[in-house]
Structure 1
Amino acid sequence: MDTQGIGRRIAYWRERRRMTQSDFGALMGQSRRWVQDVEGGRRQADPNLSVIERAAQVLNVRIEVLIADQPRTQCIDRVELDAIRCTLQRHDVLTGTADAGAADPLPVDGLYGRLVHARTAYQAGHFASLGRLVPTLLVDSNRAAARHVAEDQLAAFRILSLTLELTEAAAVKYGDTDLALVAGHRAVAAAERSQDPVIMASAARHLADAMTMHGQASAAAGFAVAAAARLEPDLRTRGADGLSVLGMLYLKAAMAQAVVGASDTFRAVSAARAVPDLLGQANEHADELGADGNAVWTAFGPTNVRLYRVAAHVQLSEGADAVAAARAIPGPARAALPKERRAHLLTDLARGFTQAGRREEAVNTLLAAEREVEEEVRCRPRTRDLIEDLRLLGAGSAEGRLRALAGRCGLPE
């Protein structure tokens, strides 16, 4: 058994669970020195299985995670999602207050810097880091909004709303639609307190996404369009920020209508017909913007509109159209997008290939997405479901590559 490897993995998970060596040792019934020796691989050549089982129990991970010879990509796990949920349920965060004995609020400039770090990590595809970053940022931005006054308070509400948006986005990635919906609602409430129409529109587009994922797609489309109509006059005075969030509202409305269009409800036909018009409205705002950008972390511009066109075709099971739309995106424009967007496009394209019966190309496209952002492929339930579908359908000459990918995702054989 790889003693040093087990020690490194114990240390990794102890730190990820925010335990000191002393605290972990106490829970294990051992000293801090014992923990140091275990993590350094110095305790014994063949670790006692009962010790590893107890360590897995204390760290709340499966025992295979500690003894696996090849560590897999680390994803946000249920423990960390529960920690984020518990943070949202704290009395101070839930009520928007600060406990009497709480520390002084952090300056808004410092808080904003931490928000930039977290959102940059998300766009770079480092989703697992959000399990560590988001809870503290939620507490600190809430305290700042409760304690600061005047302009600093408005700035704190902007940061709080943007943090809640990030919470929603991470929850969507990991398939926790309940958490996404709660965070999305809270983001809209904080945005209204910020009195900033850009933040209001940004929060609205995230809530629309959460509503769609939560089975409320028709309401989501209506909400996004209503938000756009209400806020457009103010947004048009805010340059790239305003146009970007305005365009994103129409993109989210288009995706919501595509979901309705793929359903078996009486609204399906009219919803599907509405999708091109909504995408066209977004494209008009992208043309006004004049170039791709990343204002308010939207990655909005002509290229992102094309990405959503691909996603809408996939949602409507129009695989061949999705492939054609993806192939029409210029390579340099695609390469300039944030990594998360590039990987998302590739997973959508893989699904389009699957719908078109081109399963070998689907596997190769998933492998390209994995090279962009491992977590988008190995951790996201939506992508893992696609891999399972391909295993059932068969992938021809790509079977070996598909099996290896499934293994890296931790899927059962």
Structure 2
Amino acid sequence: MAADRAIRAAEQSGNTLEVFASIFRLAQAFVRLKHLDQAEHSATTALNALERHYGDAANEPEALSVIGALHLALALIHARAGARTRARQEMKRAREVASRLGEDRNDFNLEFGPTNTEIQAVSIAVELGDAGEAIEVSTELDTSTMSVERRARLKLDLGRAYAQRRQVGEAMGALLDAEQLSPDPIHTHVAARDTIRDLLLFAGRTAPPELKELAERADARP
């Protein structure tokens, strides 16, 4: 509902790019609801329309930010659907757009740029089960200029990657770092709770007290 209202408000404002940015948020909402077909349709339709509407002007920074964000949305959608090749293709396109943009920006509160693209690459790698790649990419990132939400998301995905490799200590450390940055995602995000439960099962009776306490705070006991 919020995304739909944002689209209507953007249309009334006459800012075309704001409309497309709002459609990006609608696609994100569909992903959270696991309506992947609707998410893909929204993002693809917006991307095609944006590129047709702007033509050569699509090289302007604000337009590149929206185009790149939509490619990232499609990468996540395909990763969630298990479409590995298509997810990789969209990540490649997002990286190309980020390279053309050449800087981290926050047009329409999208935080699109080279750094956020790599943060999303970590998330995509985790979704595809490529834990080693996710860990390698994350260790090379400087996220000091990014929002708390983005930095926390990277730590959450790093924790998920370590959990895929059953490295309990490293996974717990990443999740605790994420919680310190922004508690709400760790306490409410389904993927975070599932990861914490998996870590408790991996550790069994040897689960560290810090992990048990985190599970209590996140209501993630097995």
Amino acid at match of 2:130: E
The percentage of counterpart residues that share the same residue type is 30
Residue 285 (str. 1) matches residue 105 (str. 2): no
Amino acid at match of 2:159: A
Greater Rg by CA:
1
Amino acid at match of 2:32: M
CA distance in 2, matches of 1:402, 1:411: 10
Deviation readout 1:188-236 (Å, 9 max, x if unpaired): 3333333322111111111111112222213312321221111124383
Matched ranges for 1:367-386 at <5 A: 367-386=176-195
> May I ask how many residue pairs the two structures share in their alignment?
220
Give the equivalent residue in structure 1 for 2:28.
209
TM-score with structure 2 setting the length: 0.89
CA distance in 1, matches of 2:69, 2:113: 9
| TM superposition shift of 1:396 | 8.3
Q: Does structure 2 conserve the Cα–Cα contact (< 8 Å) formed by 1:257 and 1:275?
A: yes
Matched ranges for 1:82-101 at <5 A: none
Greater CA drift, 233-242 or 273-282: 233-242
CA distance in 1, matches of 2:107, 2:216: 38
Q: Does structure 2 conserve the Cα–Cα contact (< 8 Å) formed by 1:359 and 1:395?
A: no
Give the equivalent residue in structure 1 for 2:11.
192
Q: Does structure 2 conserve the Cα–Cα contact (< 8 Å) formed by 1:320 and 1:355?
A: no
Deviation readout 1:371-405 (Å, 9 max, x if unpaired): 21122223434322321222122278662220122
Give the equivalent residue in structure 1 for 2:122.
310
Which residue, out of 237, 243, 251, partners 2:64? 243
Describe the shift of the 1:230–1:386 C-alpha distance in structure 2 as closer, same or farther (beyond 3 A). Answer: same
CA distance in 2, matches of 1:303, 1:395: 37
Q: Does structure 2 conserve the Cα–Cα contact (< 8 Å) formed by 1:244 and 1:301?
A: yes
CA distance in 2, matches of 1:197, 1:305: 23
Matched ranges for 1:13-412 at <5 A: 182-232=1-51, 233-234=53-54, 236=57, 239-261=60-82, 271-329=83-141, 331=142, 334-394=143-203, 399-411=208-220
Tell me, what secondary structure is at the counterpart of 2:81? helix
Q: Does structure 2 conserve the Cα–Cα contact (< 8 Å) formed by 1:184 and 1:207?
A: yes
Q: Does structure 1 conserve the Cα–Cα contact (< 8 Å) formed by 2:166 and 2:199?
A: no
Runs (5+) with no aligned partner, structure 1: 1-181, 262-270
| TM superposition shift of 1:272 | 1.6
CA distance in 1, matches of 2:11, 2:96: 27
Tell me, what secondary structure is at the counterpart of 2:162? helix
Runs (5+) with no aligned partner, structure 2: none
Give the equivalent residue in structure 2 for 1:147.
none
Q: Does structure 1 conserve the Cα–Cα contact (< 8 Å) formed by 2:131 and 2:165?
A: yes
Describe the shift of the 1:278–1:396 C-alpha distance in structure 2 as closer, same or farther (beyond 3 A). Answer: farther
Amino acid at match of 1:328: E
CA distance in 1, matches of 2:100, 2:171: 35
CA distance in 2, matches of 1:396, 1:306: 36
| TM superposition shift of 1:358 | 1.4
More helix per residue: 2
Deviation readout 1:344-378 (Å, 9 max, x if unpaired): 01001100111122121100111111121122223
CA distance in 2, matches of 1:243, 1:252: 14
Describe the shift of the 1:374–1:229 C-alpha distance in structure 2 as closer, same or farther (beyond 3 A). Answer: same
The 4+ residue runs of structure 1 with deviation greater than 6 A are: none
Q: Does structure 1 conserve the Cα–Cα contact (< 8 Å) formed by 2:160 and 2:171?
A: yes
CA distance in 2, matches of 1:288, 1:377: 34
